[in-house]
Structure 1
Amino acid sequence: MTDRLEKRAMILAAGLGTRLRPLTLSTPKPLVPVAGRPMIDYLIDLLKADGVDQVVVNVHHLADQMEAHLAPLTPWVSISDERDHLMDSGGGVVKAAHLLGKAPVLLLNADSFWLEPSDANDTNIARLWSAFDPDTMDMLMLTAEPSQSTGHEKAGGDFVMQANGRLSRYREGLADPLIYCGAMILHPRLLGDAPREPFSLNRFFDAAIAAGRLHGIRLKGHWLTVGTPEAIGAAEAVIADFSATR
């Protein structure tokens, strides 16, 4: 993308966080603290560092707490309200389309983030913006090797990457599996014919794979995902080690 296009991002934060119970019975998943900070604040820092112009956050579970936490960031952050009807990941993006504009948009999962290496020339988000080619891509994902990740419970990986950066689904036995880091650039043309009902972003993933338009780049740094209470301690240990070496 060029610098003249406004950068917009959406944090997918409306999930119920059932695997993080009992913590999420009283706290929305994005506000569960990791190393003393709500998870979503790590993403906010990454977006600020990249100079993103506008951020949309969808809310559903314990939405009042989410809005109160984000209120000091208004109008940089706006809310897509799903209190009445949880729309799932894909449906949530479609519902928020009027807030996202017509340029490619950065999507982030609220329950994962990454630690940037101190010697990197560009942030991972900047690398995503720079590498996205709307002529050949519908989506560009940030991916990590299993050795670069903490908290990922799925055996193997999510995708495999060809030499030209195209992604396809990982199948058992394939070499060099990659994990989706919960961060990608999506072209809004995908939203035009999408259903106005709950559905998963996997629908877009599979369509883009079939068209040869799902691509990826590799993470620089370490990726953390916090899906269970036990994963919090593992993430905090990585953050402590990372901080000690900076």
Structure 2
Amino acid sequence: MKALILVGGFGTRLRPLTLSVPKPLVEFANKPMILHQIEALKAIGVTEVILAINYQPQVMINFLKEYEAKLGIKISCSQEPEPLGTAGPLALAKGKLNDGSGEPFFVLNSDVICEYPLREMIEFHKSHGGEASIMVTKVDEPSKYGVVVMDEESGKVERFVEKPKTYVGNKINAGIYLMNPSVIQRVQLRPTSIEKEVFPQIAAEQNLYAMVSKGFWMDIGQPSDYIKGLRLYLDSLRKRSSPMLATGPHIVGNVLVHETAVIGEGCLIGPDVAIGPSCVVEIGVRLSRCTVMRAVRIKKHACISSSIIGAQSTIGQWARIDNMTVLGEDVQVSDEIYSNGGVVLPHKEIKSSILKPEIVM
């Protein structure tokens, strides 16, 4: 079985993190976000993952070669000469996807994090006999999204309504699809949208079905959703009694600490924190609702909440980082600095406080 992961795009919403690495390689819960997907696909028997790449292809290819051997799964690339949207990549990769077996294949958006009920999706797809299945998730504010209107019993998709003004349903496209090879014949090799062009056509022929995802779901393509997604992911680990979660007198709630990280005395860590490899957290540090990426040094008595700290950065002693601050790679924050929602580009030194949300170039 094969899968196509859509990794095109420049990751503009996650800048400055994506100025150093392509978005799928940005770490989420101590591993590149795309690795969560590849591992889930491998677990249900997918033997080849094809990456539809447009931006920084060589970086992606070099990085994932090591995981190809580690995971024992073939990882190949389909390089777009120009951005092809969400449907064009299917036409570009048709030689890889349609191997003559007639077997359905998965398509995933690269910035979706969830519990990946892929085995259930295969069973669902077999049961209805349609041409394609899409995963949908329930949301509290459907007016912000494109809503999937479906028959509740059969799962048959009736239509799509973009940002409805009046209530038509509360289920939205979750960015995970399972489709028969025949879908590829519907797609032209040009920039085109699977959601706006291909799926409505299949739905009109009563051949598209939707499976409601159980468990959490989040598109982590922007900082506030990334932080929310981390909370949901860690909560999911807690519900499964995962041994990955940290324990100890200095831990509050759900916390992930890489085995190579060093944490000093008198710290209070959590809830909803991920601390990456080779990090050093000095004495008396307070961390909550934040991600600290690899090789970060946090000096004594610093306080970080609701923020993302890029790799190899240093936070000075008694500094306070707050309100969805996002630091790019190798940012040096001086002692006693306050950042209130600052977005700081890589390789910068912050010597004066950022008192209101702003971008530091």
> TM-score band, normalised by the shorter chain?
0.7 to 0.9
Between the aligned partners of 1:16 and 1:156, the Cα distance in structure 2 is: 21
2:144 to 143, 155, 158: 155
**What whole-Å deviation, never above 9, does each CA across 1:104-151 have from its counterpart, x for those lacking one?**
2111110102126xxxxxxx111111221498422101111116xxxx
Match of 1:242 in 2: 236
Query: Whose RCO is larger (CA < 8 A, sep 6+)?
Result: 1
- What is the match of residue 78 of structure 1? 76
Name the TM-score, length of structure 2 as normaliser: 0.59
User: Which residue pairs with 2:181 in the alignment?
Assistant: 188
Distance across 2 between alignment mates of 1:183 and 1:95? 19
Aligned to 2:341: none
Matches within 5 A, 1:95-114: 95-101=92-98, 102=100, 103-114=103-114
Larger radius of gyration, structure 1 or 2? 2
Provide the C-alpha distance between the structure 2 equivalents of 1:115 and 1:154, rounded to a whole number of angstroms: 24
Structure with higher strand content: 2
Deviations, residues 57-82 of structure 1 (Å, cap 9, x unaligned): 11121112211121121661111112
Q: Residue 9 of structure 1: CA displacement?
A: 0.8
On the 8 A contact 2:148/2:160 being kept in 1, the answer is: yes
2:147/2:168 contact within 8 Å kept: no
Structure 2 equivalent of residue 219 of structure 1: 213
**Aligned length, in residue pairs:** 228
SS for the counterpart of 1:192 is: helix
Does structure 2 conserve the Cα–Cα contact (< 8 Å) formed by 1:156 and 1:177?
no
* AA of the residue aligned to 1:132: H
| SS at structure 1 position matched to 2:187 | coil
Q: Percent identity?
A: 26
Aligned to 2:155: 165
Contact 1:146 1:157 in 2 (8 A): no
Tell whether the 8 Å contact from 1:142 to 1:182 is kept in structure 2 after alignment: yes
Q: Could you say what secondary structure the match of 1:227 adopts?
A: coil
Could you tell me whether the CA contact under 8 Å between 2:142 and 2:171 is conserved in 1?
Answer: no
In the alignment, which of 198, 217, 229 is matched to residue 191 of structure 2? 198
Task: State how far apart, in whole Å, the 2-side matches of 1:233 and 1:177 are.
Answer: 23
Distance 1:204-1:156 versus aligned 2 partners, 3 A rule: closer
Structure 1 distance, partners of 2:225, 2:21, is: 16
Please list, as runs of the form range in 1=range in 2, the aligned pairs for 1:9-24 lying within 5 A after superposition: 9-24=3-18
User: What is the TM-score normalised by the length of structure 1?
Assistant: 0.84
Residue 232 to residue 141, structure 1, CA distance change in 2 (3 Å): same
Of Structure 1 and Structure 2, which has the larger fraction of its residues in helix? 1
Partner residue, 1:4: none
8 Å CA contact retained: 1:23, 1:229 = no
Question: Does the aligned pair in 1 maintain the 2:216–2:233 contact within 8 Å?
Answer: no
Are the equivalent residues in 2 in contact too, given 1:105–1:185 (CA < 8 A)? Answer: yes
**2:192 aligns to what SS in structure 1?**
coil
CA RMSD of superposed structures (Å): 2.2
Task: Tell me the distance in 2 between the aligned counterparts of 1:97 and 1:134.
Answer: 25
Paired residues of 2:187 and 2:198 also in contact (CA < 8 A): no
Are 1:35 and 2:29 counterparts?
A: yes
